[in-house]
Amino acid sequence: MKNADLRNLAPEIEAFVHERDWDQFHSLKNLAMALSVEASELLEIFQWMSESESNQISKDPKKKEKVEEELADIAVYLTRILQKMDINLEEAIAKKLKSNAAKYPVSLSKGNSKKYDDLG
Amino acid sequence: MKNADLRNLAPEIEAFVHERDWDQFHSLKNLAMALSVEASELLEIFQWMSESESNQISKDPKKKEKVEEELADIAVYLTRILQKMDINLEEAIAKKLKSNAAKYPVSLSKGNSKKYDDLG
Amino acid sequence: MKNADLRNLAPEIEAFVHERDWDQFHSLKNLAMALSVEASELLEIFQWMSESESNQISKDPKKKEKVEEELADIAVYLTRILQKMDINLEEAIAKKLKSNAAKYPVSLSKGNSKKYDDLG
Amino acid sequence: MKNADLRNLAPEIEAFVHERDWDQFHSLKNLAMALSVEASELLEIFQWMSESESNQISKDPKKKEKVEEELADIAVYLTRILQKMDINLEEAIAKKLKSNAAKYPVSLSKGNSKKYDDLG
């Protein structure tokens, strides 16, 4: 896994927004919307591929770059929300993994993708 | 800005998936879809709030916790995609900020939210 | 309310897909994905507008046309899913309205936008 | 193709909203957001299925009903937007099909799912 510390780019993101006086548009509602729009742009890249074609996408440098751009957009809005709400993302992930482990015990969910309310 | 290094949780995420033999479901297409579904669940929290109400969300501990859970889900799928495609997210963000700075020069975009193709 | 009978265009939509031999890409999973991507493209138009600005969008003919295009795309994929699953949409809407009326009694939900599980 | 005339349910939808005094929440921005959230809930149903599993969904009555509910929600918000903007959806679809036919000539797009800017 390569570099992915959102704190490292947070000051540049904040400066970018501040210089353009864009904080007025960055309500949490709008940031959540922007994140969701970018996630759909990522999805659009894979939309008509088969699953196995999608796994080969890195072989196409143009498409790989498009994916990187959309992931960057997603990460930028994610960072903005974390900044504004003062959330500790690492703690939030650790907590969610723990809660998911309880919802999806290995014994019941191994090798199947059923939702927890359809399990056991 | 608090802890947000996706690398710190990546091994736990990978172990979680591996124990459940879920890698078979994690094509890049499916991961992009899952990320987009989680981003919509985040959006749903803010859906009927006004923008100013959304900015007060941290005052409601139950809603704040819901936001943290959805951000964690988004971060988990983001991490999975980064792992599989071996992407350097910090580099991708830095590159995207540079390209956005060219598309949105301060002189034209300061204080307005027009899309770049409607600028100037 | 103007013409909005999806059956009227269904044969043209089917012919369009058939001529291009695109039915092979139209699994229900892919159609649901395409519908969601188009819904996000609609959302993107309104993304940085205030709510009151969004209500004035028809005054801008270029933006109104963009909205019409995205609504058409959404309707096309909706129609494809209805065709493939042989669903009666009018019945489905009537049933959903009835179930929503039970979840959101007028006495509890009048003038507020709380989700049903936060009501009463 | 079964009944799918959105005009037939439009008066009931309007009455439902009016009785609850919910029109205050139905800015076009919020309606577009709600439509996108419902489209993601539809997508969530298919998320971990393979494409061929998704095509068998009607065999599972519980899942089929869930799909119908989400399609109804999508149709309700689509209808609200059409009402508010006074759009003729049939005309919009016909126009979009014509424009798509120009972007995707049969000779270039038959049997492949490339985006128009990658064609020919």
- The pair phi, psi for residue C49, each rounded to 5°, is -75, 150
Query: Of A73, A68, A9, which Cα lies nearest the Cα of A37?
Result: A73
One of 3.40.50.720, 1.10.287.1080, 3.90.1580.10, 3.40.50.2300 is the CATH number of D7-111, namely: 1.10.287.1080
Query: Length of chain A, please?
Result: 120
| Cross-chain Cβ contact C51/B48 below 8 Å | no
Burial of A61 (0-12, 13-18, 19+ CB in 10 A): exposed
pLDDT digits (tens, 9 = 90+) for B19-38: 999 999 999 999 999 999 99
Report the interhelical angle of A28-46 vs B28-46 (nearest 10°).
Answer: 160
Res B120 pLDDT > 80: no
Structure tokens at C55: 């209500």
Its sign, for the CA torsion A98, A99, A104, A107, is: positive
Q: Which residues of C touch A36 (CB under 8 A)?
A: 40, 43
- Which pLDDT does position D119 carry in this prediction? 87
HSE, side-chain direction, 13 A CA sphere, residue C67: 27
pLDDT digits (tens, 9 = 90+) for A56-102: 999 999 999 999 999 999 999 999 999 999 999 999 999 999 999 99
| Cross-chain Cβ contact B1/A24 below 8 Å | no
Residue of B33, B48, B51 lying closest to C113 (CB–CB): B48
List the domain boundaries for chain C: 8-105
| Cross-chain Cβ contact C44/A36 below 8 Å | no
CATH topology of domain B8-107: Helix Hairpins (1.10.287)
State the DSSP string of B66-96: HHHHHHHHHHHHHHHHHHHHT--HHHHHHHH
Distance from CA of C63 to the nearest CA of D (A): 12
CATH of region A6-110: 1.10.287.1080
- Which pLDDT does position A117 carry in this prediction? 87
| Mean pLDDT, rounded, of chain C | 97
Res A119 pLDDT > 90: no
DSSP helix/strand/coil, C100: helix
Res D41 pLDDT > 90: yes
> How many Å from the N-terminal Cα to the C-terminal Cα in chain B?
35
| Cross-chain Cβ contact D89/C3 below 8 Å | yes
Task: Label each residue of D8-36 as H, E or C.
Answer: HHHHHHHHHHHHCCCHHHCCHHHHHHHHH
Residue in chain C lying closest to A37 (CA): C40
pLDDT digits (tens, 9 = 90+) for B82-115: 999 999 999 999 999 999 999 999 999 999 999 9
pLDDT digits (tens, 9 = 90+) for B37-53: 999 999 999 999 999 99
Res A120 pLDDT > 80: no
A89-B73-A77 Cα angle (round to 5): 60
Query: Of C51, A76, A37, B69, which Cα lies nearest the Cα of D36?
Result: A37
Q: What is the ipTM of this complex?
A: 0.97
Residues of A with CB under 8 A from a CB of C: 25, 30, 33-34, 36-37, 40-41, 43-44, 47-48
| Cross-chain Cβ contact C82/D1 below 8 Å | yes
CATH topology of domain C8-105: Helix Hairpins (1.10.287)
- The pair phi, psi for residue C50, each rounded to 5°, is -75, 165
Residue of D25, D37, D48 lying closest to B40 (CB–CB): D37
* Predicted structure pTM score: 0.97
Residue in chain C lying closest to D78 (CA): C71
How far apart CA D51 and CA D113 sit, in angstroms, is 16
Q: Which residues of A touch C34 (CB under 8 A)?
A: 47
